[in-house]
């Protein structure tokens, strides 16, 4: 029934691979995947580094119940909890004078943080302002009831939380994130930080291709992928066929196109990519939904210099020290004041990962590796050298998600603008139907998921959703075939 249907999938990330595997499982044979880069995975990017592998993109499976990544991987016992990282008592905080902040203070801070988060879903549905406004309001309420430190330190802690949340949301500032929009996001119950036991997130694609299921035949997914195939135009003006052109001057026809590149790519290219232009509602969704940059810089040290019970290092600036630093530092080094956190990495005992977001991340992508390494090392020294003898890193590797024209950022979030425009992920996900009722142009990717946006499991579900849309379309037409 399906073997003659031509489906072209743009993008070999989690959504595109999931869609292709689903179609192949169901008997679609004429499936092609055009991937602009030279690998599968998209924003899942596992690379060999130091003693094992590291993730330059998605790192953890977030939660268990309702998480399709967990459901797929747990059948083969491929995941384990990152217990050290989930125990925030293992996080060390230091101030900008190099003094370790008493653990009772930092623990109380994180307790307040988690308490606000726990009750937040029930309180933000009707909140009109930004997430930053909401959290600041609730934070000072909690501080008034429990003044666990002096007010100046409480302000400094709040700035640290702002940076941490900007990483989680992939925003330039939490003041642009819609508080009520966060109510759309569903958290999967269970361990929020599950790692792949040293195999890397790329293992998910092996699971999707049935490599871990002896009873099932391995899907010929890789045979269906054309690498370095950059789509330059998608013409869906014809009633029956879609025409896809690529930058190598080739032309291809398909019955259906599933478009899975990032929202960042859509923001930059949609006006020139599609003929005719996309419907107004979809253009508004592309405009209004947020898409930011989060980058990781991973440092290899000659040996592990921190104790076993430390999982993260956190940098808390005073306003005075930060102002002095920015004014006195060499021009172009202001970004160092936005360095705020280093975390350990599972199955990599000599590595620490630093995180950046927003304008700082985009700026640092343009800097030389040596400048970045020296800068991060200076920050570690400033904040923690009174406590530890810190060797200089011997190597580093990092992501550059914004600089890569095939991504233009990391993942999506819900903005105040999207709320004001009254547009949602379902508007981005809505397929384009031709006059005969045929879904000709379909959209997948994490940004199209109503409740699991910004996640790999959201991307996988979106790919399966669009594959199932086609499967259902042809099943309904079966009597006519």
Domain 7-44+202-291+407-480 CATH class label: alpha beta
Q: What is the pTM of this model?
A: 0.96
- What's the confidence (pLDDT) of residue 17? 99
- What's the confidence (pLDDT) of residue 98? 98
Question: 83: Cβ–Cβ under 8 A, 6 or more apart, which residues?
Answer: none
Q: Which helix (H) or strand (E) covers residue 80, if one does? A: strand 80-81
Q: How far apart are CA 400 and CA 54, in angstroms?
A: 15
pLDDT tens digits, one per residue of 224-248: 999 999 999 999 999 889 999 999 9
- What's the confidence (pLDDT) of residue 6? 98
- What's the confidence (pLDDT) of residue 479? 57
Q: Does domain 292-398 have CATH number 2.30.29.30?
A: no
- What's the confidence (pLDDT) of residue 3? 79
**What are the phi and psi torsion angles at 336 (to 5°)?**
-65, -25
**Domain regions of the chain by residue span:** 7-44+202-291+407-480, 105-182, 292-398
Tokens 């890397």 map to which residue? 200
Question: 398: Cβ–Cβ under 8 A, 6 or more apart, which residues?
Answer: 56, 295, 296, 297, 298, 369, 372
Beta carbons of 242 and 219 less than 8 angstroms apart: no
Low pLDDT (below 70) residues in the chain? 1, 478-481
CA dihedral 462, 465, 466, 472 (to 10 degrees): 180
- What's the confidence (pLDDT) of residue 88? 80
- What's the confidence (pLDDT) of residue 160? 98
pLDDT tens digits, one per residue of 413-431: 999 999 889 999 999 999 9
């Amino acid at each position: 029934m399906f073997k003659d249907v031509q489906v072209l999938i743009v993008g070999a990330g989690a959504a595109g691979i999931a869609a292709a595997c689903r179609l192949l499982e169901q008997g679609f044979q004429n499936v092609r995947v055009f991937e602009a880069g030279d690998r599968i995975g998209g924003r899942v990017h596992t690379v060999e580094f130091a003693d094992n592998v590291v993730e330059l993109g998605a790192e953890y499976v977030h939660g268990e119940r309702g998480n399709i990544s967990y459901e797929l991987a747990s059948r083969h016992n491929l995941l384990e909890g990152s217990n050290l990282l989930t125990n925030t008592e293992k996080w060390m905080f230091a101030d900008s004078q190099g003094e370790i902040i008493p653990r009772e203070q930092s623990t109380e801070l994180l307790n307040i943080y988690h308490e606000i988060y726990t009750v937040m879903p029930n309180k933000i549905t009707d909140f009109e302002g930004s997430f930053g406004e909401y959290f600041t309001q609730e934070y000072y309420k909690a501080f008034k009831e429990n003044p666990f430190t002096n007010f100046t330190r409480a302000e400094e802690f709040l700035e640290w939380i702002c940076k941490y949340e900007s990483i989680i949301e992939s925003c330039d500032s939490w003041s642009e994130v819609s508080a009520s929009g966060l109510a759309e996001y569903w958290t999967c119950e269970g361990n929020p930080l599950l790692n792949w036991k040293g195999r890397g997130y790329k293992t998910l694609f092996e699971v999707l291709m049935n490599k871990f299921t002896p009873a099932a035949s391995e899907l010929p997914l890789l045979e269906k992928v054309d690498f370095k195939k950059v789509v330059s135009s998608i013409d869906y003006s014809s009633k029956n066929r879609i025409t896809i052109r690529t930058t190598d001057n080739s032309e291809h026809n398909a019955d259906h196109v599933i478009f899975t590149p990032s929202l960042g790519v859509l923001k930059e290219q949609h006006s020139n990519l599609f003929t005719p232009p996309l419907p107004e509602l979809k253009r508004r969704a592309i405009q209004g939904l947020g898409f930011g940059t989060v980058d990781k810089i991973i440092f290899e040290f000659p040996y592990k210099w921190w104790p076993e019970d430390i999982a993260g290092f956190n940098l808390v600036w005073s306003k005075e020290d930060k102002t002095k630093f920015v004014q006195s530092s060499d021009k172009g080094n202001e970004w160092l004041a936005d360095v705020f956190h280093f975390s350990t990495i599972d199955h990599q005992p000599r590595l620490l990962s630093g995180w950046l977001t927003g304008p700082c991340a985009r700026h640092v992508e343009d800097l030389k590796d040596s400048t970045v390494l020296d800068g991060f090392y200076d920050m570690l020294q400033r904040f923690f050298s009174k406590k530890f003898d810190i060797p200089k890193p011997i190597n580093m590797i990092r992501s550059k998600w914004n600089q890569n024209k095939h991504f233009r950022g990391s993942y999506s979030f819900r903005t105040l603008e999207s709320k004001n425009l009254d547009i949602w992920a379902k508007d981005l996900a809505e397929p384009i139907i031709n006059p005969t009722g045929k879904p000709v142009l379909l959209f997948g990717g994490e940004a199209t998921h109503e409740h699991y946006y910004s996640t790999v499991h959201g991307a996988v579900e979106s790919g399966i959703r669009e594959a199932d849309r086609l499967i259902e379309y042809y099943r309904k037409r079966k009597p006519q075939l």
